[in-house]
Structure 1
Amino acid sequence: MPATYYYEDLAVGDEWDAGTVSITEEELLEFAERYDPQAFHVDEAAAERHFGGLITSGWHTAAACMRPLVESVLSDVAVVAAAGVDDLRWREPVRPGDALTIEVAVVEKTPWNDDRGQVSFQLTATNGDGDVVHDRTDLVVVERRDDTDT
């Protein structure tokens, strides 16, 4: 299936509601035990002392937000590769049972050559209270149309 959006089709200010992702305690513990076994992610007592209960690893939060980004936005874009992530932040703790709403916007475009350009997608995740819990800028290399000199 051909991409819907090429570099030229995307504009700064384009926005998407990428949906939601829920964090379960089981997934939180599994991820933390495997990749980020800090006490406040895997030990209820330690987490209680510092955060009032278990919190999700920021890396888990970032990874969990990737799927809605891909399914709701990037799957329709002529993506070549990722060039990196800027301004990655974890603003508030994410807890078991939280459902995160993911919003995405194009915030910058940089042409590279006749074949590709970089599109910066700002991702913002909010919890059920409307608090921003995670945000970042994904730097995505996107194909340019073959038939354009833009």
Structure 2
Amino acid sequence: MTAATPAYWYWEDIEEGLVLEFGPKKVDRDEVIRFATDFDPQPFHLSEEAGKASLFGGLAASGWHTAGMVMRLMCDGFLLKSSSLGSPGLDSLKWLRPVMVGDEIRARMTVLGRRPMKSKPHVGLVQTRWEAVNQRDEVVMTIENWAMFGRREPGTTEPAAPAA
């Protein structure tokens, strides 16, 4: 974050094109197995032997675990320091590469668009792409969605862009 980064983010502070990155988070063997045991008990998430015998070639984190780790990085790095009001859902979620025990992942958020919410003047909508990136700078997961943020100045109109 830079000196111009707000201590607390409102919708007005979140500009199209903004890119923020958080992490890294080391993917821990015991966490992978614990998550899989509770939520995604497929064999390649539960043991090294089954993982080695699978297409992954080793113990792989569940994609849902990867999404959860990214959510935690986003909360700690951004959402808990913002006027976040949640999200109406995901437009897309793609697992592009396996996340393996020992990997380090970072979360990258890119703002794709934004607009005030017509029906609720105290809310602004922000369209984002989240990427999970491993230590080799490979994108391993993407999520695109809209999120809702409280507005500092509800119902005000945005200033017009300067004429070119």
Under a length normalisation based on structure 2, what TM-score does the superposition of the two structures give?
Answer: 0.82
C-alpha distance after superposition, 1:78-127 (max 9, x if no partner): 11222212221111011111111221111121321311121122211111
- 1:22 alignment partner AA: K
Assess if the C-alpha contact under 8 Å between 2:88 and 2:146 holds in 1.
Answer: yes
Assess if the C-alpha contact under 8 Å between 2:111 and 2:129 holds in 1.
Answer: yes
Assess if the C-alpha contact under 8 Å between 2:33 and 2:47 holds in 1.
Answer: no
- 1:145 alignment partner AA: R
Counterpart residue number, 1:73: 78
Counterpart residue number, 2:156: 149
Q: Which has the higher contact order (CA 8 A, sep 6+)?
A: 1
Structure 1 gap ranges (5+): none
Counterpart residue number, 2:12: 8
Counterpart residue number, 1:116: 123
Shift of 1:147: 5.7
Structure 2 gap ranges (5+): 1-6, 158-164
- 2:139 alignment partner AA: V
Shift of 1:68: 1.2
- Tell me how far apart the structure 1 counterparts of residues 104 and 149 of structure 2 sit (CA, whole Å): 30
Which is strand-richer, 1 or 2? 1
Q: Structure 1: which 4+ aligned runs deviate by more than 3 Å? A: none
Which is helix-richer, 1 or 2? 1
- 1:83 alignment partner AA: P
Counterpart residue number, 2:24: 20
> Kindly, what percent of the aligned residue pairs are identical?
32
- Tell me how far apart the structure 2 counterparts of residues 71 and 121 of structure 1 sit (CA, whole Å): 17
Point out the structure with max Rg over C-alpha. 2
Q: What is the RMSD of the two structures over their aligned residues, measured on CA atoms?
A: 1.7
